[in-house]
Amino acid sequence: MATHIRVLLVVLCVFALDQALVDAMISKSMYVTWGKHHAVINSEDLQLVLDQTSGSAVQSKRSFLFGSIEMLIKLVPGNSAGTVTAYYVSSTGDRHDEIDFEFLGNVSGQPYIVHTNIYTQGNGSKEQQFYLWFDPTADFHNYTIHWNPTEIVWYVDGLPIRVFRNYEKEGIAYPNKQGMRVYSSLWNADNWATRGGLVKIDWNSSPFVAKCRRFRARACKFNGPVSVTQCASNATGNWWNNPVYSQLSSAKLGQLNWVRSNYMIYDYCKDFKRFNGQMPPECFKPQF
């Protein structure tokens, strides 16, 4: 009997590790999708380049459903107006799910804008924007998407900046059934990124370079429909489903409130004019 129990525990541990770990080296877990001559992958390091001929992008080889996705990123320095460095997870198709970090460049001396958004079943328009409390071009900083069946949390250097909770039972869509790959890109968005497209890219400052390193996906590997149940279960190893991750701690709430009080510059839930007073239903629900 004891032998059977030991074997069962070993099997459970192997399953848990397979679900929760992914080969973290960028060179083994990601590949270039466009701008092949403008992206360089070397072991743990990724360099994305944008010039007048092309931008560049990479994506993960695997899809995930729930867990923690993180990357260290050093953004384009100097006059980066009109450029966007994107880091996000997304499924595919017209009814895709997506969780975004987008970093909107600006003229020299002006702060970057961190643009966050979430798409559910193909519908977005849930933007929140922030300034950063440091120079994101001077060094690498950690940007993490934590995502489980209860909530999504965007983190910057371990500080939560935004939360989106699951109210699916009340008719509000939540991304919990589609596996999502990890993407990062650097591209020309001067038709909208800087002051609504008023400031264009200064190509004299090109090539623009964003650097990434230490990609980590401590997440559930998506292997088709069976993963919808497996990744949401309380099985051994599904650490993201532990009750401690169902809501921010009081300390994390304090950090969240500090960021939002001092650095938040746009919240779609306060943009009454945009929605003609018909605010999205999640705006009336507690998120924290």
- DSSP letter assigned to residue 134: S
Strand order in the sheet with 264-267: 30-34, 56-60, 181-188, 83-90, 98-104, 113-119, 128-131, 264-267
Look up tokens 């880091």; give the residue.
Answer: 87
Distance between CA atoms of 227 and 168, rounded to whole angstroms? 19
44 catalytic, yes or no? no
Look up residue 196 and give its two tokens: 């609504």
Distance between CA atoms of 215 and 27, rounded to whole angstroms? 10
192 phi/psi in degrees, rounded to 5: -150, -20
Distance between CA atoms of 159 and 75, rounded to whole angstroms? 18
Q: Are the C-beta atoms of 35 and 254 separated by less than 8 Å? A: no
Choosing from 70, 98, 151, 282, the catalytic residue is 98
| Distance, CA of 153 to chain centre | 9
Look up residue 262 and give its two tokens: 């001092």
Distance between CA atoms of 145 and 155, rounded to whole angstroms? 6
Distance between CA atoms of 191 and 6, rounded to whole angstroms? 60
- Counting every residue written for the chain, the total comes to 288
168 catalytic, yes or no? no
Q: Are the C-beta atoms of 182 and 89 separated by less than 8 Å? A: yes
Choosing from 44, 70, 102, 127, the catalytic residue is 102
Residues belonging to the active site = 98, 102
